[in-house]
Amino acid sequence: MGKVDFKPGNMLYPLPAVMVSVSDGKGKDNILTVAWVGTVCSDPAMVSISVRKSRYSYDWIIKTGEFVINLTTEELAWATDYCGVVSGRDVNKWEKCGLHKIPGTVVNVPYIEESPVAIECKVRSITELGTHDMFLAEIVAVHADDRYMDEKGTFHLEKAHPLVYSHGRYYSMGEELGKFGYSIKKQ
């Protein structure tokens, strides 16, 4: 078995494909799709998203310092793609995709009702990187769809069939192969 060498580039796949909701602070809201997203700290809970300066929503995040990360599912695949390829300058993505707004509880940005998890965020720093700027943000509220809660209060995101992105394609997550620590569990 051999390896093929590529020029240095982003090969860290798959990634969660998320829809990020934003507000202009004057009552207008938009959605953009982001795949450059990740967890960066557990205490305080923090995430990062990287956004091109040319994106319509970029200035809104700069202005308000707030956004909501909305996790996506198989059912949201079309909307996820649409919100990543069509500009909010030209169309109301909420209406076009049939998505419903729920007001944020801590930030002044709505989240997507159809999303299984919505993560309200406040920007703590911005790092200019090149094609994208990275917004490092603190998680200030999380909303989980009760359809995926069991009787013990455990959340089962896998039942929502989360969406991931890899090399320009969307995939639904597959079956569970194990849980944290299964490799050392006594048989």
Confidence label for 187 from pLDDT (cuts 50, 70 and 90):
low
Q: Averaged over 117-130, what is the pLDDT? A: 97
Residue 84 one-letter amino acid: G
3-state secondary structure of 139: strand
Domain assignment of residue 2, yes or no: no
Question: Hey, which residues does 48 pair with through a beta bridge?
Answer: 38, 136
Share above pLDDT 90 across residues of the chain, in percent, rounded to a whole number: 83
Band (pLDDT 50/70/90 cuts) for residue 1 is confident
Domains held by the chain: number: 1
Assigned domain for 44 exists: yes
Q: What is the CATH number of the domain that holds 160?
A: 2.30.110.10
In a domain, residue 127? The reply is yes
Average pLDDT, whole number, for the chain?
A: 94
Quickly list H helices, the chain: 58-64, 77-85, 93-97
pLDDT in tens, 149-181: 999 999 999 999 999 999 899 999 878 778 888
pLDDT tier, 135 (very low <50, low <70, confident <90, very high otherwise): very high
Tell me the mean pLDDT in the region 129-144: 97
Sequence-distant (≥ 6) Cβ neighbours of residue 140 within 8 angstroms: 106, 107, 120, 121, 122
In-domain check, residue 7: no
Mean pLDDT of 20-48: 96
What pLDDT sits at residue 132?
Answer: 96
Using CB atoms within 10 A of its CB, is residue 118 exposed (0-12), middle (13-18) or buried (19+)?
Answer: buried
User: Residues 128-133: contacts with CB within 8 Å, 24+ apart?
Assistant: 129/50, 131/52, 132/36, 132/50, 132/51, 132/52, 133/50, 133/51, 133/52, 133/53, 133/58
Q: Which residues, in sequence order, are bridge partners of residue 49? A: 37, 135
pLDDT value of residue 172: 92
Owning domain of residue 65: 15-172
Looking at residue 184, what is its pLDDT? Answer: 87
- Note whether residue 25 is domain-resident: yes
The answer to whether position 181 is within a domain reads: no
Residue 182 belongs to a domain: no
Residue 94 belongs to some domain of the structure: yes
What are the tens digits of pLDDT across the range 61-96? 999 999 999 999 999 999 999 999 999 999 999 999
Would you give the distance in Å from CA 63 to the centre of its chain?
A: 20
Q: What is the mean pLDDT of residues 41-64?
A: 97
Residue bearing tokens 């079956």 = 175
> How large is the average pLDDT for residues 111-115?
98
